[in-house]
Copies of this chain bind each other. A is one copy, B any other.
Amino acid sequence: MRVGVVGARGYTGGELLRLLYMHPKVEVTYITSRQHAGKPVGIVHPNLRGLLDLKFEEFDVSKASEKCDYVFMAVPHGASMDITPQLLEVGLKVVDLSADFRLKNEEEYRKYYGPHKRPELLGKAVYGLPELHRKELRGAQFVACPGCMATSAIIGAAPVVSSFKVDLEKIVVDAKIGSSAAGREADESTHHPERTGVVRPYKVVGHRHTAEIEQELTGLVGRKVKVALSAHAVDIVRGILSTLHFFLEEGVEEREVWRAFRNFYSESPFVRIVKQRIGVYRLPDPKAVIGSNFCDIGFEVDEDSSRLVVLSAIDNLVKGASGQAVQCMNLMEGWDEGLGLNLPGLFP
Q: Give residues in A with beta carbon < 8 Å to B.
A: 11, 14, 18, 21-22, 39, 43-52, 167, 169-170, 172, 174, 176, 178-180, 184-202, 204-206, 226, 228, 230, 232, 234-241, 243, 245, 247, 272, 274, 276, 278-281, 283-292, 294, 296, 298, 300-303, 306-307, 309, 311, 313, 342-348
Contact = CB atoms under 8 A, between A and B. Distances in A.
Contact of A285 (B18, B201, B241, B309): B201
A320 to B, nearest CB: 14
B236 A197 contact: yes
Contacts of A180: 193, 348
Given A11-B193, A170-B247, A193-B237, A45 B280 contact: no
B346 A200 contact: no
A112 to B, nearest CB: 11
Contacts of A48: 344
Contacts of A290: 47, 197, 346
Contact of A291 (B188, B236, B291): B291
Given A186-B190, A191-B190, A283-B204, A292 B348 contact: no
A41 B133 CA distance: 32
A146 to B, nearest CB: 20
A48 to B, nearest CB: 5
A83 to B, nearest CB: 24
